[in-house]
Chain A
Amino acid sequence: MKFSVSSSELLKQLQVANGSIGSNPVLPILEDFLFTISDNKLTITASDLDTTITTTMDVMSDSDGTVAIPAKILLDTLKALPQQPITFTINENNFGVEITSAYGKYRLAGENGQDFPAIPQADEVDSIVLPASSLIQGVNKTLFATSNDELRLAMMGVYFQVDFNKLTMVATDAHKLVRYTFTNLGSEVSTSFIVPKKALNLLKNALDSKDEVKMSFNKANAFFEFGNTQMACRLIDSRYPDYNAVIPVDNPNTLTLSRADFASSMRRIAIYANKTTNQVILNITPGNLTISAQDLDFSNEATEKLACTYDGDGLTIGYNAKFVLEMLNVLESDEVKLELSTPTRASILLPVEDVPGEDILMLVMPVMLSN
């Protein structure tokens, strides 16, 4: 089998697929890209068994066939080549690969493509179509809140709830929580599933905001198709915690202030907070917000006053500054609203101005102050 392709075009596709190659694959062949040629179409597949990325491109080929090619050496070769047509010649007996460039020849050992593990296929599944830009937004606004705790598998992913014309994405690590909803969805299904964070990270980087994404899912897998690329990922098979139960319904105290001012103040004050807890203290009275932190180990201390509108009882509450900053950073509105109840109950963070077609709610658990 022999085929020719533009080195830079191929590199572009390989770099998309490469994201799903794991660092310590269970099977040696998973360190390879699977090349399958059929009818002058090259399909490239890379997988860590949990996440699989497939992408296709046109090539000039003399026959159909398949081969697995070691990913790292191939990528390194292409990165070091100026853009030019290159030719791959595959020895179908021993799967040796020979690449010919304008400069010379490079040989590497491939493997039998038939040995590559089977890739899950989207069979008889529900599907919805949405703009990639919406999905990118949703991922960017939720991913940071996922957990790294292997004992809470469900929280290591983002919970997707499809409800006909509405998609809700939820992420939490038990300290903070984001619920992001967008409407105007063309869907005829109602279902829910948990997509692992690794897959979403890859997806976010592979998506082009101009694309449309077809999202389909069955019991075990989710599939994302966009442009010439498809990503399949194994869903997290676990029950998602009942997040609605922890969203407070009666937080009577509301603090409204500039998002940018709040964030930059938090950033400065956090420098003076204890590095392990990032604990900052908000002292709130009507019209007056004081943010402070101290680190007794180093005698560091900082206090700032901020303009705000506050409707409620005087309150002193502690937060991990890192959490609050992460949350403020994904919001876009000029002003934000913090709805509070007591210093040991969850606080709600909301944008003051809504973005049409989307709805976002964030929760953060406070730090219980020691005195």
Chain B
Amino acid sequence: MRKIIHIDMDAFFASVEQRDNPELRGRPVAVGGGGIRGVVASASYEARKYGVRSAMPGATAKRLCPDLIFVKSHFDVYKTVSQQIRDIFHDYTDLVEPLSLDEAYLDVTENKKNLNSATLIAQEIRQRIEVETGLTASAGISFNKFLAKIASDVNKPNGMKVILPEEALDFLEKLPIEKFHGIGQVTARRMHELSIFTGADLKKRSEHELQQIFGKAGRHYYRIVRAEDEREVNPHRIRKSIGSERTFNEDLHDPAEMKARLSDLAGQVHEYAARNNNFGRTVTIKLKTPDFRQFTRSRTFPQDVTQLEQIIQVVHELLDQNIAEIGAVRLLGVTISGLRLDRQSGIGVQLEFEF
């Protein structure tokens, strides 16, 4: 049996801002989202009380919480803090898989301190994070990644939760379906339509049935509700792609509007790639139709695509080539892959005939 810890910083960006600007403490703060079309990157717990969430348009957030203070992001600071907490993790194990700046999985089955109790390790790590960075983190402890991730959410903020092997099935049966990591709003809604509200309801469905309804993901749902998750904590995970996608409140029918949205998404992707100096050779668009069929289309170039104008041109062309078959979309996405930093992994790009 493995011992996995999931550590998740509490309202990370917002907490860093409150730490560094005492006048923000105890007040509703949103990092990002100040611009006309900006979205909130992180909201302090004071703001969350009003319903402000990350990825929410700034205007919406302001409506929910008129006193909301918008602050600019300071990624260099977040990165420094992120490195600090990773150093702490590595005092315990080298099996650390960062998911982003503010969360990571740790496999502490064998650890450098020869501690038997993963709970004790999680407790120590949280204390050290608080002492060394002045920020709080939550932890989930269990025997696989899926359960550890769910557990870290249970007593958030500044708390932790252990799910023991003998408790896992019971815990999952009682868990509302929308709390399952990997089941988003839309899937949750579909499940509700099928009278699946809790893990117990989900468990009653056969693997075959779930696969028929949800495709490949159905098999995943079948397994996770039985606490089956064999994924290893992978310390060498390299970012394979940089992508951004958006589900729209209303389906888009107008190709011109789709193009405008694709340009926005391309802009976000390009900005991230530029910040990390990690461009790629393959540009992909993702389209999801109102009836949830999903398609991706890509084009690969001999060199990295570094110019925003070129990314935009490619995504527009890919849309033009495929829009006739699709009609309307509920989601659009832009991804670049074949990234410079990923190439050390030796993974090439499958080429296609140019019909």
- In this assembly, does A330 line the interface, its C-beta being within 8 Å of a C-beta of chain B? no
Query: Scoring A residues 333 to 360 as 1 if CB is less than 8 Å from chain B, else 0, what string do you get?
Result: 0000000000010100000000000000
Tell me how far the C-beta of B130 lies from the nearest C-beta in chain A, rounded to whole angstroms.
Answer: 34
Contact B355 A151 (CB under 8 A): no
Give the residues in chain A near B22, CB-CB below 8 Å. Answer: none
| From A175, A242, A346, A371, contact of B346 by CB (8 A) | A371
| Interface-located stretch among B11-19, B173-181, B295-303 | B295-303
Contact B348 A241 (CB under 8 A): no
Give the residues in chain B near A297, CB-CB below 8 Å. Answer: 234, 236, 345
A interface, over-half SS: loop
Residue of A nearest to B302 (CB): A344
| From B347, B348, B353, contact of A177 by CB (8 A) | B353
Query: Scoring A residues 166 to 180 as 1 if CB is less than 8 Å from chain B, else 0, what string do you get?
Result: 000000101101000
Give the residues in chain A near B343, CB-CB below 8 Å. Answer: 370-371
Contact B348 A368 (CB under 8 A): yes
Tell me how far the C-beta of A72 lies from the nearest C-beta in chain B, rounded to whole angstroms.
Answer: 15
Query: Scoring A residues 284 to 304 as 1 if CB is less than 8 Å from chain B, else 0, what string do you get?
Result: 000000000010110000000
Query: Scoring B residues 315 to 331 as 1 if CB is less than 8 Å from chain A, else 0, what string do you get?
Result: 00000001001100000
- In this assembly, does A142 line the interface, its C-beta being within 8 Å of a C-beta of chain B? no
Give the number of residues in A that approach B within 8 Å (Cβ atoms): 33
Residue of B nearest to A296 (CB): B345
- In this assembly, does B349 line the interface, its C-beta being within 8 Å of a C-beta of chain A? yes
Contact B354 A367 (CB under 8 A): no
- In this assembly, does A277 line the interface, its C-beta being within 8 Å of a C-beta of chain B? yes
- In this assembly, does B350 line the interface, its C-beta being within 8 Å of a C-beta of chain A? yes
- In this assembly, does A318 line the interface, its C-beta being within 8 Å of a C-beta of chain B? yes
Known: A363-B353, A369-B346. 7 other contacts (CB 8 A): A149-B295, A151-B326, A174-B352, A246-B355, A277-B347, A370-B343, A370-B345
Residues of B within 8 A of A (CB): 212, 234, 236, 281, 293, 295, 297, 300, 302, 322, 325-326, 338, 342-355
Closest 10 CB pairs of A and B: A241-B355, A370-B343, A367-B348, A365-B351, A246-B353, A174-B352, A369-B348, A368-B349, A318-B348, A368-B348
Q: List 18 A-B contacts (CB under 8 A).
A: A23-B212, A151-B297, A151-B322, A174-B355, A241-B353, A245-B355, A274-B347, A276-B347, A277-B347, A279-B347, A296-B345, A344-B302, A344-B351, A363-B353, A365-B350, A367-B348, A370-B338, A370-B348
